[in-house]
Amino acid sequence: MIEHVPVKGLQRSQLSKRTGCNIETIRYYENIGLMPEPPRSAKGYRLYDETHVRRLRFILRSRELGFGIDEIRGLLDLVDRKAQTCAEIQERTKPHLAEIRAKIADLRRIERLLARTLAQCSGEDVPECPVLEALAS
Amino acid sequence: MIEHVPVKGLQRSQLSKRTGCNIETIRYYENIGLMPEPPRSAKGYRLYDETHVRRLRFILRSRELGFGIDEIRGLLDLVDRKAQTCAEIQERTKPHLAEIRAKIADLRRIERLLARTLAQCSGEDVPECPVLEALAS
DNA sequence: CATAGCTCCTGTAGTCACTACAGGCTCAAG
DNA sequence: CTTGAGCCTGTAGTGACTACAGGAGCTATG
């Protein structure tokens, strides 16, 4: 009569399905200390609960918004300390927003250059291509 | 009377200075076959010339424009074959431009979301932060 | 009861585009 | 002759995963 009642808790694949996170990535986040080590079943299987689902969603959402692992570690520390204030969060988020804006500006510059060069390109079978010339210059 | 006249040609550090390319990166490009193996001096020092300068500039410019190593390999193949046509170049450049535009769209979405959330943030010492709530949701 | 096929466990290697380092040789200046 | 820079090589580290190898366990079917 040991463990006849199925141990409640989500296994790795269930957590993966619930969050859309790659199954290997979950273990990776555990290894680097973003996800806590979950309790284990008698046979050593990881057993997750709703707190893990929420934490993983937080991480994934932050990644989507372009935060790096270390930045997320910082945000999670604030959450865990429960001492976070709006001011602290702003302090971390504002430079991140600035970075994203810089990346956008960069890409737009590249896009303009590439589009302009392509527009000069006849698309015919001539051996002189303005794109290559732009790259070589 | 061996090699009294300095062997003409640029050494790695000179090529690095002329192109702005990190000195280690030059060897890396050689290892992966983007840069050709240059001739060597009697003692085995690499000796570059203007053709190497031009090729490296082409590579660096392409990287700046966001082309991956394999894409550059493709462009260089076209250049080397001397059989390139505008049509071939367009074929390779158009999808790349589309990728860049997709990345811009992505980043703009992220930027809007982050900016909107930050705008709701009072910056005061309250423990409920709309940014964290947005991340957790 | 046995076997098949799935999921789980672990550690490790591969990805991309570099960058850095260790250990040894060469070269020019002082 | 010594010092310090620059060259050579191979290898390891970066970030954020992703994939694989080798072994154990679970469940369903014959």
Q: Do A100 and B114 touch (CB under 8 A)?
A: yes
- Residue A89 covered by a domain: no
Is B2 in the same domain as B63?
yes
Is A3 in the same domain as A52?
yes
- Residue B29 covered by a domain: yes
With contact defined as beta carbons under 8 Å apart, do B56 and B35 qualify? yes
Is B13 in the same domain as B54?
yes
Given pLDDT bands bounded at 50, 70 and 90, which one contains residue A133? confident
Is B56 in the same domain as B93?
no
Given pLDDT bands bounded at 50, 70 and 90, which one contains residue A120? confident
Query: Can you tell me the mean pLDDT for B129-134?
Result: 78
Which CATH number is B7's domain given? 1.10.1660.10
Query: Per DSSP, what are the bridge partners of residue A10?
Result: A48
Is B11 in the same domain as B58?
yes
**Confidence at residue B2, expressed as pLDDT on a 0 to 100 scale:** 37
Query: Per DSSP, what are the bridge partners of residue B46?
Result: B40
Look at the block and give the residue holding tokens 């015919």: A124
Q: Is the CB of B84 under 7 A from strand D?
A: no
**Confidence at residue B80, expressed as pLDDT on a 0 to 100 scale:** 83
Range of the domain at A127: 97-137
Is B49 in the same domain as B104?
no
**Residue A48 CB-half CA count within 13 A:** 23
**Confidence at residue A83, expressed as pLDDT on a 0 to 100 scale:** 63
Is B92 in the same domain as B48?
no
How many structural domains are present in chain B? Answer: 2
Which amino acid does the sequence have at B37? E
Tell whether A105 is within 8 A of chain B (Cβ). Answer: no
Percentage above 70 pLDDT, chain B: 89
Q: Do B89 and A114 touch (CB under 8 A)?
A: no
| Average pLDDT over all residues of chain B | 87
Look at the block and give the residue holding tokens 């806590």: A36
Is A53 in the same domain as A116?
no
The 10 Å CB-count burial string (b at 16+, else e) for A28-62 is ebbeeebbeebeeeeeeebbbeeebeebbbbbbbb
Query: Can you tell me the mean pLDDT for A48-71?
Result: 94
Q: The pTM is what?
A: 0.82
Q: What is the DSSP string of A97-109?
A: HHHHHHHHHHHHH
* pLDDT reading at A57 higher than 90: yes
Q: Do A104 and B101 touch (CB under 8 A)?
A: no
Is A63 in the same domain as A114?
no
**Radius of gyration over every alpha carbon of chain A, rounded to an integer in angstroms:** 24
| B-chain residues near A66 (CB < 8 A) | 107, 110
* Stretch among A24-28, B1-5, B75-79, B127-131 having the lowest mean pLDDT: B1-5
Is A23 in the same domain as A62?
yes
User: Which of B65, B80, B81 is the best substitution to test chain A (most A C-beta atoms within 10 A)?
Assistant: B65
Nucleotides of D under 7 A from a protein CB: 6-9, 15-20, 25-27
- Residue A92 covered by a domain: no
* pLDDT reading at B63 higher than 70: yes
Retrieve residue A97's tokens: 């927003």
Residue B10's SS3 state is strand
Is A118 in the same domain as A56?
no
Distance CA(B89)–CA(B59), nearest Å, equals 15
Helix, strand, coil percentages for chain A (3-state, nearest 5): 65, 5, 35
Is A64 in the same domain as A101?
no
Q: Do B89 and A132 touch (CB under 8 A)?
A: yes
Q: What would the pLDDT profile of B67-100 be if each residue is shown by its tens digit?
A: 999 999 999 988 887 666 788 888 888 999 999 9
